[in-house]
Structure 1
Amino acid sequence: MGLKSLIPNSIKTALKNVIPVSVIDQLEIITGERDALTPPSRMIFIGDGDFRKVGKLTIDRMKEIGNLKSTDRVLDVGSGIGRLAIPLTEYLKTPGGYDGIEIVKDGVDWCNKEVHKRFPNFNFHHLNVYNKMYNPNGTMQGHELRFPFDSTTFDYVILNSVFTHMLEPDFERYLAEISRTLKKGARGYITMFLLNEESRRLNAEGKNKYDRHLTPFTDNTMVYLQDLPESMIAFDETYARKAFEKAGLTIRDIKFGNWCGRLNTVDYQDLIFVTKK
């Protein structure tokens, strides 16, 4: 029986006022709520569901339909707190490797402390990029960003729910940097929300999952919250395709998700599989 079933999160939150968080973190390991390669529950800031199961499912999907190879050098843009890096430690083999970049410093610090020390070919980098939702004190603008890597370094790029929280100028800049750092023929797995005739119709009909109705924000985007657009942003598909093409990235397949109320889909978000020209 894990700690979650013994002590509710509300009690754990109250305990933080009287017990060091390091003790609570250790209790989660002792009681079986998590292992050493799963971050403390208080630190997880990305996504819903079981941390380890969701991560493994996503990596399995990349292997099965995303053409991820065990010898790839992988760039994980928006590496969070290691949800994809951790299952990749069991898959990537020499000469493969991994670099993650993330704007939330606590996630980077934990990954370097717990993952990098066990797997030296897994490296995590903090980029102090401003994002109103995730890093409001960031000192760097996304549209001015340069990734800290040489050109043509990586075989594979991952962006799992990154463009869903990014405005247009940053989106275009990230695409350019992704293209610069990928080798020719490199592949990528990207999730986002795309606006097309079907998704716009379903949104207008109120079919969006979790009642997240989108409203126009710019000519090319719609958002869930006007005062916090980074919480959930969707891009016009035609605009997005042109942006990918301009960056030198070919979209070879899209598997549309159920975020807008579609049925019989692979995932919640739209899955985009790209190749570097």
Structure 2
Amino acid sequence: MDLWDRVRGREHPLLPPRRYRRFIGNGDFLKVGREITAYMRDELGMGPGHDVLDAGCGAGRIAVPLTDVLTEGSYLGFDIVPHAIDWCGRTITPRHPNFRFEHVDIHQEIYNPEGTLSSADFRFPAEDAAFDIAALIGLISHLRPAEMENYLAESARVLRPGGQCFATAYLVDDAVAANIVRGETAFSFTHDHGDYYVHSETEPTYAIAYRLEHILSVAARHGLRMRRDPSPGTWGVSTRRPASMDLLVLERA
């Protein structure tokens, strides 16, 4: 398929090969990335001079459209998948030197089973108060509670006062919890642990949903507060797929 793409000519010079896109999630790579970037611009006020950290950047799904936005600021993306980071470093950084990518060798059962670091105490490769926005796109759904808390704590550490943590997640309120019990959600989270739900006990990091109040309580411990009500996705109210995740914006005090 990559060869066929090359023969036809790619839609975008920074579109990564299909083999690097397959672990990122459903949907059109460029379309989804542009939609996320548009939300960051319109709802978070992101502008050309902002500094953005992208935790779990994958093969650059938001980095690619951000190259058209962050013309004066900077971008740092890190991920546990080495070939994705290698591709981004070889392809994006030479064209946009203000975009940097780092591989972090975090252990993850599905994507990096040989990793040596732990998500529960991993330190983001960034200085304190260095960024205006920290993006956790499609990441919280793969983090256990202690890991999720560490990533929120690290997001708070690297954000400047007034900076924003933008996350997508499976958020559960009472209505969604009732839908989960009835099997009326796009993804099944049948293992209820109180503050969070898992899709599979044998592979818990495959998909995790969190009670909204639990995430907000954890965020508050680290100086993050909800800036606005979450923008609900479709996963919790319908069995129809493809389904979107919820959008959460937290602000650094």
TM-score, length-normalised on structure 2?
0.93
- SS of the residue aligned with 2:71? coil
> Identity over the aligned pairs, expressed in percent?
31
Q: Which residue of 1 aligns with 2:237?
A: 261
Describe the superposition over 1:141-200 as per-residue Cα deviations: whole angstroms up to 9, x where unpaired.
111211121101001111111001111111111111111111111122111111210110
- SS of the residue aligned with 1:87? helix
Describe the superposition over 1:102-149 as per-residue Cα deviations: whole angstroms up to 9, x where unpaired.
111111110000001110100001111111122111100111211121
Determine which structure has more spread, i.e. the larger CA radius of gyration. Answer: 1
Q: Which residue of 1 aligns with 2:140?
A: 163
- 1:38 and 2:29 equivalent? no
Q: Which residue of 1 aligns with 2:62?
A: 84
Q: Which moved more, 1:214-223 or 1:144-153?
A: 214-223
- 1:108 and 2:79 equivalent? no
1:270 CA displacement: 1.1
Asked if 2 retains the 8 angstrom alpha-carbon contact of 1:165 and 1:231, the reply is yes
2: distance between equivalents of 1:198 and 1:262?
12
1:60 CA displacement: 0.7
Aligned to 2:211, which of 236, 240, 249?
Answer: 236
Q: Which moved more, 1:252-261 or 1:83-92?
A: 252-261
Q: Which residue of 1 aligns with 2:127?
A: 150
1:216 CA displacement: 2.4
Give every structure 1 segment of 4 or more consecutive aligned residues whose post-TM-superposition deviation is greater than 2 Å: 32-36, 216-219
2: distance between equivalents of 1:35 and 1:70?
21
Provide the alpha-carbon RMSD of the alignment.
Answer: 1.6
1: distance between equivalents of 2:124 and 2:192?
28
Q: Which moved more, 1:143-152 or 1:72-81?
A: 143-152
Superposition pairs of residues 16-55 of structure 1, within 5 angstroms: 25=2, 27-44=4-21, 45-55=23-33
Which one has a larger percent helix, Structure 1 or Structure 2? 1
- SS of the residue aligned with 1:193? strand
1:30 CA displacement: 2.8
Q: Which amino acid aligns with 1:144?
A: D
2: distance between equivalents of 1:217 and 1:79?
29
2: distance between equivalents of 1:68 and 1:206?
38
Q: Which amino acid aligns with 2:204?
A: P
Asked if 2 retains the 8 angstrom alpha-carbon contact of 1:190 and 1:271, the reply is yes
